[in-house]
Amino acid sequence: MTSATAKMNREVKFTRLLDAPRELVFKAWADPTQIAKWWGPHHFTNPVCEIDLRVGGALRIVMRGPDGSDYPMKGIFREIKAPEKLSFTNIATDTNGNYLLEGFTNVTFSAEGDKTRMIVVTRATGLVPIAEQMLEGMEAGWSQSFERLEALISKK
């Protein structure tokens, strides 16, 4: 694999122990109203958040940055085992629907007493030159999303 090819592929893994029951954490991933509150980096909003939570069902999220720029993504649920597991494709597009990144995300939720161990493994392949920058920001973006998720579920 060339270094240029390596730069266009990224996989990151996150493990978080969340102070909330597994069912509550799973719902935060399954309910579009809740996802809209935590998905994306700090200071981003999600004016569009649509979820058809079934195998083969679609998800569509449009993140809006602080500067007003929109960052659409879509995907298809591949596996759902409530409240244990979610797997879905994730495709970042431009505002015209052109693919920028193609990826896959697997999320598992394990009960540990009244807490939940959430493990997220996500990988993506860049399809256009701008994708290299997007992949470089992947770890920070997901980390900030999880900080927002933790803040949301701690209010419950």
pTM over 0.85: yes
Rounded (10°) angle between helices 138-154 and 22-30: 120
We report the CATH number of the domain holding residue 132 as: 3.30.530.20
pLDDT at position 155 is: 75
Question: CB-based burial of residue 76 (10 Å sphere; 0-12 exposed, 13-18 middle, 19+ buried)?
Answer: middle
Helix/strand/coil percentages in the chain, nearest 5: 30, 45, 25
User: What is the count of structural domains for the chain?
Assistant: 1
pLDDT digits (tens, 9 = 90+) for 100-123: 999 999 999 999 999 999 999 999
Percentage of residues of the chain with pLDDT beyond 70: 96
* Residues contacting 120, CB < 8 A, separation 6+: 13, 14, 15, 16, 105, 106, 107, 142, 146
Rg (CA), the chain: 15
What is the four-CA torsion angle of 66, 141, 87, 29, rounded to 10 degrees? -60
Structure tokens at 60: 């569509």
Q: Note the pLDDT tens digit of each residue in 51-96.
A: 999 999 999 999 999 999 999 999 999 999 999 999 999 999 999 9
Q: What does the alpha-carbon distance between residue 96 and residue 57 come to, in Å, rounded to a whole number?
A: 22
CA distance 59 to 44: 18
| Structural domain boundaries, residue 84 | 3-154
